[in-house]
Structure 1
Amino acid sequence: MQTRRRSEGDAAGTRKRNDSGGSMAISSTATTTTTTSGSTNQSGRHNHHHQQQQQGQQQPASKGDLLGAGLDARIARRVSLDSAEAAGHGHYLKCRYPRCDATATLAEARKTFKSCHNCSHLYCSRECRRAHWERHRKACLHSRVSALCRLVLSTCKDDADTLRHLSVLARRGYLSQGRGVVRILFRSPERADSFIKQGFQCLGEVSYVRWPDLLPAEMGPELYSELLKLSTEYKPDSKMLLYVAICVVSEAPGSATAPVKWERQLVSRCAKLKLCRTVVSEIVSGPGAGERPGPRPDTVGDVLVLSFNILSKTTQRAREQVSQNVQTVLRQRGVNLRKHYPEVYQRLATFVEGSTDRFLPVTLHPRDTATGRSFVCIVMPNYGDTERVQFPVSENGDDRVVTVDVGADLGDDLTSKL
């Protein structure tokens, strides 16, 4: 995970400056993928309980494109033999699949070589293109759209109307729900580009997400852990957390029966920005400054964190203990992991067997049979003390956070720990 400061040159020079200071941006190296088969009309569907229906139409772009006129061309399918020639060896092209040594002249390549569906990588055959896709997909999609996420974050900081709108949403969300993240979703790279060019009028779907409701499966474990850390550290009276997600629908090499399939991925980044100065002034001068009202009853709940350490030489007995404790803790609340969450149970079983050394964080929203109320359960591994995640502390009667080390011997006093 890398943390960097954006330069002011990332933003458009013609956009009016806001009254905010610097920012910190963190990139996600993981994406969430859903694979479908069929026609391109499937690209408009993406379900998430934090999303809302986008309204209105995107206005055509005219000028001020920060990505240049080549964005649409880079997203569309194309063959770039000219660029391949410039980077190749003389007048010969080599298949981009590392395990293939096939070469061809430019004339031959124009006739026989196959291009990546989304970029200019060239392959000698469909088989090589299909074999290289799993390794190539991250660089092909993530690097391009991740750069777009950076520009979106830069625009949020530099566009005064957008910054004020997000600041008000962040402040209201904190006052009513506690610590959380302002989530901005764009259903396509083109919509994100329209926001970069036209500002607030083309802002994506915005919502406030409480930190217990963040989904590691959506953003990847690295960004999820980073957002949890930032949720603990940021100062709600002067800062806010932004989480930008761009949905990418792309062609991917399929099988012989289905030559082309469509993949849907979310590429995301997050940043910590200063609130708009006018919002900060209202906080300082307003009645009850510095005091936060009690949370609404419907937003208060329990957050159960089941954490455990994963060392380089974790024994199978230790893994079995983790699995047993997780199931025991949930069973005391009336949740049968094997029955109610079979996918998570299977992942845990695979981890116990030793088939994998990593267990990615997972968030569940079960219902406690004793109280009839839903609660949040986060199963979070820690890879050493340096990567241990500190969860946000309950503030003024917010969510009651209970952390249980399921890697330890809980014994008979488990009830006292809950």
Structure 2
Amino acid sequence: AKTNSSTGNSIGATTQHTNVVGYYQDASINSQHASAVGGVGGGSGVIGAGNATVSTRRVSLGDSSESNNKTTSELQIKCRNTKCDRSATPADAKKYYKSCHNCTHLYCSRECRRAHWEKHRKACLHSRASNLCRQVLATCKDDVDSQRHLSLLARKGFLSQGRGVVRVLFRSAEAAESFIKHGFQCMGEASYVRWPDLMPAEMGLELYSELLKLSTEYKPDSKMLIYVAICVVSEAPGMGQAPVRWERQLVSRCAKLKLCKSILAELDQQHQALQLQQQLQPQPPLTVVAVPEPTTEILILTFNPSLRSNNGHGELILSNILDILSRRGVLLRKHYPEIYQRLQTFTDGQTDKFNPVTLHPRDSQTGKSFVCIIMPVHTSDNDVIKFPSASDD
């Protein structure tokens, strides 16, 4: 899909993407783009999960298909901890093995379950919720009432705020399942979010980059962007004799769907009726001057984390980010000490992870607030994220 021109009273955004080593101009988005030491990209997939093992093949305790080839005594259920070689018959496994708190993975002991959790957690927490996200998006498309509601939300949101996405939040996996089963009456919390207000820390860098890309491409006159987020609460094994602890996180997916045609027709009729009413009303003696909406400036500071191991590059990343913000009167160490500490710890090599952060500081020179996003990226310098332009012309 290609970017379509916007209509109505949309709020624009000036995007400035800074590479702390050099500046260059991206004419396609009419904005200054620079990166701390790198470009944008990266990706990951959702890992599937099996249940148990027969020799080298994984089966479920209730899998009757194996009985055609093997007797019950030949079946062996292997512990799912990859560093453990223990196995047992289905009867013994059912009696003595410990299952994962959230799925059907089987372990020979609590110790093996605890030891394998860090490796297993991503597949365990994400596989079910990720599949539910796909089903929710399919329901949004196929359920007539849901499509109408989301289309109305998307169209009115675009006309009043500009390009953005419809965010549908479910507080639990069970709430998402209810929506899939019953449709619109069980829909989650739906709201319209402007693209500058999207939170990379909430959805992850991969989905955030994908949503920014879709925001430049979708046709708001006929399409809408749906962002589904499901809150997953899971039990994680405690250390030693510690009790089970609870973990909460969001699993998200997005899609581009067609707007409901009946909603488009109704909104068009309302617009025509409003124009006719304005024409029939007597003109006031005063001249009304339209004042354009203020724009929101977006400053994107990116860096390639893989380059920080090179001599001096870690310090260069930090110093350039501090320098760029200080020109606007923003002292990261003073105004955002927690973010400064996290960034310093990352560039020093004390930690391997830095989640994207969004700040809302005020420029001391102009007196205006702006949005600053600091995010690591994994790609070549030739790959550039395209951000929606200010006017969408």
TM-score above 0.5: yes
Paired residues, number: 318
When the two structures are superposed, what TM-score results if normalisation uses the length of structure 2?
A: 0.72
Residue of 175, 196, 200 corresponding to 2:180: 196
Give the equivalent residue in structure 1 for 2:386: 390
Residue of 328, 332, 340 corresponding to 2:327: 332
Shift of 1:192: 0.8
CA 1:128–1:310: 2 relative to 1, 3 Å: closer
Give the equivalent residue in structure 2 for 1:209: 193
- AA aligned to 1:244 is V
Give the equivalent residue in structure 1 for 2:92: 108
Give the equivalent residue in structure 2 for 1:10: none
The superposition leaves residues 198-227 of structure 1 with CA deviations (integer Å, 9 ceiling, x where unpaired) of 111111001111111111111111101101
Shift of 1:312: 5.9
Structure scoring higher RCO (CA < 8 A, sep ≥ 6) equals 2
* Contact 1:310-1:384 within 8 A present in 2 as well: no
Give the equivalent residue in structure 1 for 2:300: 305
Measured in 2, the distance between the counterparts of 1:96 and 1:278 equals 52
Q: Does 1:125 align with 2:109?
A: yes
Name the stretch that deviates more: 141-150 or 351-360: 351-360
- AA aligned to 1:265 is Q
Residue of 26, 45, 62 corresponding to 1:82: 62
The superposition leaves residues 341-384 of structure 1 with CA deviations (integer Å, 9 ceiling, x where unpaired) of 34432342244234567755332223345555432111244421
1:198-347 correspondence runs (5 A):
198-282=182-266, 286-287=271-272, 297=293, 300-308=295-303, 315-347=310-342
Residue of 141, 166, 188 corresponding to 1:182: 166
CA 1:259–1:313: 2 relative to 1, 3 Å: closer
Shift of 1:387: 4.1
Say which SS state the counterpart of residue 103 (structure 2) adopts. coil
* Contact 1:102-1:124 within 8 A present in 2 as well: yes
Unmatched segments (≥5 aa) in structure 1 = 1-26, 31-79, 398-418
Say which SS state the counterpart of residue 263 (structure 1) adopts. strand
Give the equivalent residue in structure 1 for 2:373: 378
Cα RMSD for the two superposed structures: 3.2
Query: Max radius of gyration: which structure?
Result: 2
Measured in 2, the distance between the counterparts of 1:303 and 1:348 equals 20
1:8-27 correspondence runs (5 A):
none
Measured in 1, the distance between the counterparts of 2:339 and 2:383 equals 23
Say which SS state the counterpart of residue 303 (structure 1) adopts. strand
CA 1:251–1:359: 2 relative to 1, 3 Å: closer
Say which SS state the counterpart of residue 198 (structure 1) adopts. helix
- AA aligned to 1:182 is V
> Identity of aligned pairs, percent?
62
Unmatched segments (≥5 aa) in structure 2 = 1-42, 47-59, 276-289
Give the equivalent residue in structure 1 for 2:144: 160
Shift of 1:140: 1.2
- AA aligned to 2:388 is P
The superposition leaves residues 319-346 of structure 1 with CA deviations (integer Å, 9 ceiling, x where unpaired) of 3222112112222333322233344323
* Contact 2:139-2:180 within 8 A present in 1 as well: yes
Shift of 1:92: 2.1
